[in-house]
A and B are shown apart, each in its own frame.
Chain A
Amino acid sequence: MALLEIRNLSVDFKTAGGKFRAVDNVDVAVDKGDLMAIVGESGSGKSVSMLAVMGLLPWTATVTADVMRFDGQDLLKMPARKRRQIIGRDISMIFQEPMSSLNPCFTVGFQIKEALKSHLGLDRKQRHARAIELLEQVGIPAPEKRLSAFPHQLSGGMSQRMMIAMALACKPKLLIADEPTTALDVTIQAQILELLTDLQKNTGMALILITHDMGVVAETVDRVAVQYAGRRVEEQNVVDLFDDPHHPYTAALLAALPERAHNRLLPTIKGVVPGQFDKIDGCVFAPRCQFADARCRAVPPKPAGKELGDALCHYPLIKGQPQNKEMSA
């Protein structure tokens, strides 16, 4: 049984310009101890889909899904109070901006300990001991002293370690890390990623790593879901994905990696992710796809099947060659 199972998740925002669909029919399946990545450009709905799982979207968002189950429990039908017992205990999330994600008015010790109190009911002494243990676990030196620090006294990397300690407090079964290193220095980025994967191995929790960096994905995770304009366009294990991407978007992302570029110039993907004001009838990637044709622009594609990574494409690639193309041409 999957730890987290989501089918047909959609999120609509009420905006001044009408309804805007930020996430469109996305499936997610995560097993116990999984290490997966969700990759996509900025604005592809990675954060929004995971915030929907956490129930952290603002009131302007409408979340719909056929299935949204965690550890056998239906997150959709669950009363808010029950859901809050899962959030922060069994599922935790850390965010892109560690500095602004910590409350400036409270010490980090206070912020780490409060989940221990509300979820686990530990007493003062137990909370203190556990907090120190957590700081040691995330590699913070002099934990006893650090607990009484205020967030503005910490560096970005240190703040992210604190966020991770906070997220790990109740030994979650699933940790969602939303671009945990984007706001950090390059050297610190590597440290934090290593910390996260070590923790995932040592604790046996599942980890969903949200990133827009294919390079990070290659070194870190086992399985990759590629998201584009609110849709999941492909999902494969990491080796196969790098070896044989089935969706043209994935192929383009991989081709854009510096170490894969054949000439001196980086092949970037032309164009931008369609936003709130772009109306698209057929395939959302058509405006930027080198294989796009009339059918692509008119008819939205369906997932191509398990063996093709469920590529959301009329002409999924095999070894770089579009399939079925002649039949429709």
Chain B
Amino acid sequence: MSDNQQFFRDTAERILADRLEQKHIVAAESRVLPGELFATLAENGIFLMLVPEEQGGIGASVAEALAILKPAGSAAAPGPLLETMLGNGLLAQAGVAPVEGTIALAFVGADELAGAVTLHDVGWGGLADHVLVVADDAGRARLTLSAGADWLATPGEGAAGEPSDRLSAPSLPGASAVLDAAGSYADALRRAALLRAGQQLGAIEWSFTRSIDYTGERSQFGKPIAKFQVIQQMLAELAGHVLAASTLLDAAAVGLSETLVAAAISRVGDAADSAIAICHQVHGAIGYSKEYALNYRTRRLMAWRADFGGVEYWRGALARGFITATREQFWPAVSDAGLQGAA
């Protein structure tokens, strides 16, 4: 980890420790944003991470943004943290100044925006200060920034209990700008999904560590359950998922290659599935109780895997990059995928 990444990680961990309590995580399920946490994140410039320095931001890389989002996932931090961070970054790309307050993000096809508009499953959509619609306009990202108040929100919630709302308006409100670069829509979606994978990894690592500790604390048949070989084997299996997912995610964050980002999202998705199954299994009934902290991570894993394309979309995208290769072309394609150290 670079010094910068370490610094951002330490900063995030400090803020989360100071400003996020279990009661805030619980309150998010009653549609209450952890206000103090978000105010402190804003004061520390976290929402300007992806805004270039020339535009008044921090100019951080995606790898550095991940250094913030992993501990946020580990802490089960609720709220549109990723969305606000990336939203400001996208606005900066369009030459628009960053906004005050929170941003909800909606990725849609351009054809969904004609006439009366309905956006589905928008995280914190009804509560965010701003809504940034990112539309796929023949491959380019068309950004439309509106106020949250411009929309009629029908509350809903996802697996984590966080708001996931339907927003509607008689016609698309707000002001638009198009990101000129070809492929800018896919690029934005890719970054969103990669950052979400970072949050997932944080939640996976927290669940893994807690499970190791728990199996030392809990005794049955006169010994800590960690001493049962079956428990050891399950957690050893999960250790493999954690190492593989974190290593590939780190590699993907360096070059942001299309192939590696899709692969990392897919790999983290498998690690998440394994973490949910294994961590709950080794916890027994206590892990299934709402009061115990594990479910606040595992339910986020359930919710997050579907965001920004969803794990299956990225698997298909990854396969499409290879599917036309001949048997002889396949290995060079794997070898050139942008892995770190692969000279």
Whether chains A and B associate is no
